[in-house]
Structure 1
Amino acid sequence: MRKLFGCTLLIALVASAAGYGYWAEQREVGHYLSDLRIKLAVNDGADQGRGNLLGIEPDLSPRDFQSLALVHLKLSAYLNSARNDGLLNDKTIVILPEHIGTWLMFRGEKNELYQAANLNEAMRMLALSNPLAFANAWLRADGDNRTNDAHLRMKARHMASDYQSLFGGLAKEFGVTLVAGSIALPDPRIENGQLLPGNGPLYNSSLVFGHDGALLGAPQRQLLPTYEEQSYIQPSPDHQLNVVDTPAGRLGILIGSDSWYPENYKILNEKGAQLIAVPAFIMGKNTWEQPWGGYKSVSTPSEISLKPGEVTEGEAWHRLTLISSAPSSTAQAGMTVFLRGKFWDKRSAGRGFISRNGQTSADTSGTGAQLLNVWL
């Protein structure tokens, strides 16, 4: 009897494991109708033949990342709209928001993940439907938050490939220089023209693609992630800021709140940056209108007198982003763009703005996809 019970239990366990394995491998593609509309919120200046900075604030949801075809459909629709408005040429620099590449971690997942009630449930589903990959990544994870690290690390190889295919393809398709927001990858590097993840800590990095679809320069790592992010996203160890040559001029990138530090503008001045792109991301539906919480990575720079709570989050971004504010920045112009949309129970905030001559031209609408353009 004991032997029979043991055999029955073993068969049940094998059947359960086989059923779980089969379930985890299923990847049905659900039907999804995406909103492809976008409006031109800011159009500063006139075409002088010197090119332009074109910011895209896409309105995205998890379903948009179910396949590369879906996210390409949405972004190409936005770029087609810009082309129809006469905003694309061979000197155009397109700027996308921070972490737009990081959401590629959800590409090709089960329908149950996209239907999750909240982000925490979606992350649990991500681990459950990739059990071996998640376990392997968790063992190799770096930082205090091993779970968040593992979620990203287990998808890193596919994310890097998808990121280059998607954004390099869009740059080539539309003949523009494209600042592809940012993506969180372990120790990213470029070898023989290919973006590859390593085995080290996770970095939030931005990459630029030329109008031929090829990568320009090295990955720009975020220098100072927030304290919360630093539990799994590490600060750039070399504090290096890169400048790349584009048809419109020398371009520097400051990811998110890296744009709040005067020292970073001094470095870009020394490297001859004429243009500055700021891919940004803020979580929270009403965060833009709420009191500013202060610097969230290091102590307040000595040059900054702004105190937490003194202004709103949006006002702080306008005050602290010093693009073209002489003598801090000698850049001709720059642009800050934010991701829009709802990711399960989390909404993104932020309203993009153009910086030129020490002044800002801002998007005043908080909903829907937006284009921001400044002629150089």
Structure 2
Amino acid sequence: MRKILGLCLTVLVAALLVSYGVWTTQRPMGHYLSDLRIQLVANEGMPAGRGNLLGIEARLYPTDYQDLNRLHRKLAAWLQQARDQGLLNDKTLVVLPEHIGTWLYAAGEKNQFYQADTVGQAMHWLAWSNPVQFLRAMAQAEGQPRLADAYLRMKASGMAHDYQQVFGGLAREFGVTLVAGSVVLPDPRLEDGQLHIGSGPLYNVSLVFGADGQPLGQPQRQMAPDNHQRRYIKAADPAALQVFDTPAGRLGVLIGSDSLHADYYARLNDQAVQLIAVPAFLPNRERWNQPWRDRRGVDLPAGSLTEAQAWRHLTLTGQAPRSTAKAGISVFMQGQFWDQNSAGESFTHAPGAVPAGQPLEQRSDGARMINVWL
């Protein structure tokens, strides 16, 4: 009798494991209606043959990432509308927001993942749907908490490929230089023009793609992650701050909170930078108008300004005469990822100028563009 019960139990466990294995491979996709609206909310200067900085304040949701064709269709529709309005030319530099590539970990997942109510629930579905990748990532995780590191690491190889395919493809399709926001990857590097990952710590990086779709330089790593993210995203050596030669001029990229540090502007001055792109992300929609929170290495007392005032004061706008760049642009991510929303008003900036943008209370739904002619 015991043998029969043991055999039945073994068969039952095997059947459950096989069923679970089959379940993890299924990735059905439902119909999804993308919001392709985009509004030009700031257009500074006049065309003078020197190009322009065009920021795309993307409004995205988890289901936009379910299928790469769907994501491409939405981004391409926004760029096509920019082209129709005469905002794209062979000297245009398009800037996308921080972490627009990080959300690629949401590609190709099960419907339960997208239908979750919170980020935490979605991450549980991510782990259950990819058990082998998750266990491998947990073993390699270096940051704290280890779960946050593992969730970002577990699909990194596919994310690196998709990031280059999507954003390099858009640069080539529209014939522009494109600062592809950022993506979090373990120890990323370019080899023979291809983005690869390593097994080391996580870095928040941005690639700049030329009009031929090929990367310019190495991935630019973030040097001063925000207070929360620095627990699992490693800060890069400031000596790795690069300059990219583009048709519009010499470009520096400061990812998110890097743009709040005066020392980095001085380093860019030493390399004769003319333009500065800031892909940015700020969680919590209410935070933009809340008191400024202290940042490590930033000489500004907490509560002395609002977040909005501080970002504008500490970026290129407030750096004159310490920064010799002639223009820049800060582009924030919008949208809703489960229970996590985002804040920030994208704005153009030049030393001593009043930043151009659109107040939050005046905004309509859909994505937004800001443009400055050089």
TM-score, normalisation: structure 2: 0.97
Q: Distance in 1 between matches of 2:305 and 2:137?
A: 41
Q: Is the 8 A contact 1:280 1:337 kept in 2?
A: yes
Alignment pair present for 1:361 and 2:361: no
2:72 counterpart residue number: 72
- Equivalent residue runs for 1:146-295 within 5 Å: 146-237=146-237, 239-295=239-295
- Residues 25-64 of structure 1 correspond to what in structure 2 (within 5 A)? 25-64=25-64
Shift in Å at residue 187 of structure 1? Answer: 0.4
Task: Report the CA distance between 1:325 and its aligned residue.
Answer: 3.6
CA contact (8 A) 1:289 1:312 kept: yes
Describe the shift of the 1:299–1:176 C-alpha distance in structure 2 as closer, same or farther (beyond 3 A).
closer
SS state at 1:361 partner: coil
Give 1:322 deviation, angstroms. Answer: 2.5
2:113 maps to: 113
1:329 aligns with 2:323: yes
Q: How many Å apart are 1:77 and its aligned residue?
A: 0.7
**Pair 188,323 (structure 1): closer, same or farther in 2 beyond 3 Å:** farther
- Structure 2 stretches lacking a partner, 5+ long: none
CA-CA distance at 1:194 after TM superposition: 0.3
Report the Cα distance in structure 1 between the residues aligned to 2:309 and 2:240, rounded to whole angstroms.
Answer: 28
116-125 or 351-360: bigger deviation: 351-360
Q: 1:143: Cα distance to partner?
A: 1.7
1:324·1:330 contact (CA, 8 Å) conserved in 2? no
Which is worse superposed, 146-155 or 95-104? 146-155
Q: Tell me the equivalent position of 1:349.
A: 343
Displacement after TM superposition at 1:290 (Å): 1.2
C-alpha displacement of 1:151: 1.3
Q: Pick the aligned partner of 1:371 from 366, 369, 372.
A: 369
Q: Deviations over 1:78-124 (max 9, x none)?
A: 10110010000000000000000000001000011000011100011
Structure 1 segments, 4+ long, off by >4 Å, are none
Structure-2 change in CA distance of 1:280 and 1:115 (3 Å): same
Looking at structure 2, the residues matched to 24 and 39 of structure 1 have their Cα atoms a distance apart, in angstroms, of 40
**In structure 2, how many angstroms separate the alpha carbons of the residues matched to 1:143 and 1:137?**
11
Contact 2:261 2:297 in 1 (8 A): no
d(CA) in 2 for partners of 1:368 and 1:38? 6
* Pairwise CA distance, 1:68: 0.7
Quote the Cα distance in structure 2 between the aligned partners of 1:77 and 1:355.
26
Q: By how many angstroms is 1:357 displaced?
A: 3.8
Distance 1:300 1:40 in 2: 32
Aligned length: 370
> Deviation per CA, 1:258-279, whole angstroms, max 9, x where unpaired?
1111110000000111000000
Paired letter, 2:81: S
User: In structure 1, how many angstroms separate the alpha carbons of the residues matched to 2:28 and 2:255?
Assistant: 35
Question: Once the two structures are superposed, what CA deviation does each residue of 1:307-356 show, in whole Å capped at 9, x if it has no partner?
Answer: 21122111111111135842210001000000000100111111100002
Q: Which amino acid aligns with 2:222?
A: Q
* Partner-residue secondary structure (3-state), 2:116: coil
Taking the aligned partners of 1:31 and 1:95, their CA distance within structure 2 comes to 29
RMSD between aligned alpha carbons? Answer: 1.2
Q: What is the letter of the counterpart of residue 11 of structure 1?
A: V
Counterpart position of 1:338: 332
TM-score normalised to the size of structure 1? 0.96
Which range moves more in the overlay, 72-81 or 234-243?
A: 234-243
- Of 306, 313, 326, which aligns to 2:307? 313
8 Å CA contact 1:323–1:331 kept in 2: the answer is no
* Stretches of structure 1 lacking an aligned partner (at least 5 in a row): none
2-structure distance, mates of 1:128, 1:186: 22
